Amino acid sequence: MSVQFLSGNEAVAHGVRLSRPRVVAAYPITPQTVVVERLAEMVEDGDLAAEFVHVESEHSALALVMGSAAMGVRTFTATSSQGLLYMAECLYYTAGGRWPIVMMNANRALALPWNIYGDQSDSLALISSGWIQSYAETAQEALDLVIQSYAIAEDLRVRTPVLVNLDGFVLTHTYEPVDVPEQEQVDAFLPSPDFPVGYPGTFNQENPQSLAITAGPGDYTVFKFKQHQDMVAAAGPIREVDERFIQHFGRGVAGLTEGYQLDDAELVIVTLGSIAGTVRTVVDELRTEGVKAGLLRLRYLRPFPTAEVLAGLFGPQRSAKVAAIGILEKDISFGHQGTVSLEVKAALYEAATQGALPPAINFVAGLGGQEIGLADIRRFFTALAEAAQGQQKPLVQFLGMEHAQ
Amino acid sequence: MADQSDWKVRPFQRPKNPQDWPLTPQCESGYLATSNSGWRTLWPQILDNCNSCGLCFVYCPDGAIAKGENDFPYVLADWCKGCGLCAKECPKDAIRMNEDDQK
Ligand code: SF4
Ligand code: SF4
């Protein structure tokens, strides 16, 4: 293991190199480009024995790795923003076909207005596409998630593609020391990049298969039911992979969520991605001032970790009642709330039968690269404290638009 | 090549338990789970002036045309959806779309 000073994008490229995909196809798009450039260099230098295919679009990139996966090999692609939306058709196709593709997405705003900076509206728009979705907090976690994603996606119980998300620029372009494992360590952790003969969804000379078949009205439901069931059940294999990763590499988080100062927290911010780091810092500051602040970070949005969210907020290990919940995300589902807020609140409904729920505020912040500072997160906690005391608050609050709402 | 007289719908035995269905939307080749004939109102009749050029065999989007003796084409009743593409493409006007009498 060697510690290197890497950006989030470079960490992803190293995670991919160590996972030895046989085929890489990607179309460069800001802020993902560095991933593609590094992988191209690695292939050129002989550090990665993969077919690197230049494609004319993101749609082609995902279609190409889908075909490669159907030939029975590990694959990788990466995109961002408009590119992810352009791929949308192929996202559903690959998920429905159950090909274990791993893709990195640099979370970036969607046009219009034109904007190349970070927010999470791209991947959240495709949350129902059937892909597993994870969100990295750090470059280290991004590298680790890539390796873990192959173990999860290729598990026979899962067979579902994985989208690993990194906040554009804030995580893709910032540098930190990253533990880069040795090739032998990763080889011992992952199965062969050549799938075994007869692996579902792959061509087979001995026993010819028609892949990507038509299914009429009744049969279609069976396949969709199975897709859903297997995605829900994927939480188990994800946790197993996390635990095996910790044993194997000596670091990591076990579970689809991560709590920080959570068990006695009265004011909890639920969030995802790199902003969790800033929230941790504010939680530490508030704790020194006697405010019982806490963080619940969602590492995975699909499968949605309902049980873990409920356990974190209402579980028997808690020593204090949660008095207010803030859901902080870089997204808005126009006409309702942020997508993550909708997801979290749907999970909370499961707990509603056990008693009244605390007030919840959706903080929409960081749109189009908007900076979210320590002072902003402090204000979010203040708003939660006031809501906990019974003050009426807008349910959805846009950072920077306080004067207008 | 498989015996083409066998190119019939092989009904897919739908398992009761979803766990027993294929692990992905895939199937052993040679199956047609549902017949396309229900979509059909017209049926391609191959006429005697066909010179066995094979174009219809290539163009049929459903692979519903097979080659018989001396490559003379014939149409597979379960697979043909009656689109008429073969008749449109035939350079000899040797395919006539008739009322479907095959169902
Ligand atoms: S009518 Fe259409 S489906 Fe039928 S044989 Fe001709 S081209 Fe094929
Ligand atoms: S395209 Fe016409 S001429 Fe050629 S094989 Fe088919 S029916 Fe015969």
Assembly ipTM: 0.80
Closest in A156, A200, A210 to B29, CB measured: A210
Look at residue B15 and tell me if it is in a domain: no
Average pLDDT of the residues in A320-329: 97
Confidence band, pLDDT 50/70/90 cuts, at residue A81: very high
The Cα A345–Cα A232 span in angstroms is 18
Is position B18 within any domain?
no
Ligand 1 pocket mutation, candidates B74, B76, B83, criterion most atoms within 8 A of CB:
B83
Question: Does pLDDT of A398 surpass 80?
Answer: yes
Q: Say what the pTM is.
A: 0.91
Q: What percent of chain A has pLDDT over 70?
A: 100
State mean pLDDT over A108-130. 98
Nearest ligand 1 atom to the CA of B89 is 7
Length of chain B: 103
Which of A3-7, A54-58, A312-316, B31-35 is least confident?
Answer: B31-35
Would you say residue A230 has pLDDT above 50?
yes
Percent helix, strand and coil across chain A, each to the nearest 5? 40, 20, 40
In a domain, B6, yes or no: no
Using pLDDT thresholds of 50, 70 and 90, give the confidence band for residue B6. low
Distance of CA A144 to the CA centre of its chain: 12
Mean pLDDT of A375-400: 97
Ligand 1 atom nearest the C-alpha of B36 is 3
Q: What is the mean pLDDT of residues A7-16?
A: 98
For residue A254, name the pLDDT band (cuts at 50, 70, 90). Answer: very high
B3 found inside a domain:
no
What are the backbone angles phi and psi of residue A394, rounded to the nearest 5°?
-60, 140
pLDDT band at B35 (very low <50, low <70, confident <90, very high): confident
Q: What is the mean pLDDT of residues A274-292?
A: 98
Torsion of CA A330, A334, A339, A343, to 10 degrees: 150
Using the predicted structure, report yes or no on whether residue B2 has a pLDDT greater than 50.
no
Please state, in angstroms and rounded to a whole number, the distance separating the CA atoms of residues A389 and A49: 60
Provide the domain count of chain B: 1
How many CB atoms are closer than 10 A to CB A228?
12
Which of B26, B29, B34 to substitute to test the interface with A, most A CBs within 10 Å? B26
User: What's the confidence (pLDDT) of residue A378?
Assistant: 98
The reply to whether residue A213 touches residue B14, judged by beta carbons under 8 angstroms, is: no
- Least Cα separation, residue B10 to chain A (angstroms): 14
| A57 membership: H or E segment, kind and range | none
Q: Give pLDDT, residue A369.
A: 98
Tokens read off for A183: 């090739």
Q: Is A349 on the interface with B (CB under 8 A)?
A: no
Report the share of chain B in percent with pLDDT over 70. 89
Distance B102 CA to ligand 2 centre (A): 20
Cα A58 from Cα A25, distance rounded (Å): 9
- Can you say how many angstroms the Cα of residue A288 is from the centroid of all Cα atoms in its chain? 31
Q: Which two tokens stand for residue A284?
A: 């530490």
Angle between the A235-249 and A217-233 helix axes, to the nearest 10 degrees? 30
Tell whether the model's pLDDT for residue A294 goes beyond 50: yes
- Identify residue B42 by its one-letter amino acid code: L
Q: Would the pLDDT of B5 be above 70?
A: no
Q: Write the CATH number for B42.
A: 3.30.70.20
Q: What are phi and psi of A286, to 5 degrees?
A: -65, -35
Q: Is the pLDDT of residue B92 over 70?
A: yes
By CB neighbour count within 10 A (0-12 exposed, 13-18 middle, 19+ buried), where does A34 fall?
buried
Task: Quote helix, strand, coil % in chain B, to nearest 5.
Answer: 20, 20, 60
Check whether domain A2-196+215-249 has CATH 3.40.1190.20, yes or no: no
Query: Do the Cβ atoms of B26 and A219 come within 8 Å?
Result: no
In this structure, what DSSP letter does residue B8 have?
S
**CA dihedral sign, ordered A171, A175, A177, A180:** positive
Burial of B57 (0-12, 13-18, 19+ CB in 10 A): middle
**pLDDT class of B1 with cuts at 50, 70, 90:** very low
Q: What pLDDT was estimated at residue B7?
A: 59
**Structural domain boundaries in chain A:** 2-196+215-249, 257-398
A207: contact with B, CB 8 A cutoff? yes
In this prediction, residues A263-285 reach a mean pLDDT of 98
What proportion of chain A, given as a percentage, has pLDDT over 90? 94
What is the average per-residue pLDDT within A120-130? Answer: 98
3 state DSSP class of A289: coil
Whether residue B48 is contained in a domain is answered as yes
In terms of CATH architecture, what is A257-398?
3-Layer(aba) Sandwich (3.40)
Would an 8 Å CB–CB cutoff place A203 in contact with chain B?
A: no
- Segment holding A225, helix H or strand E: helix A217-233
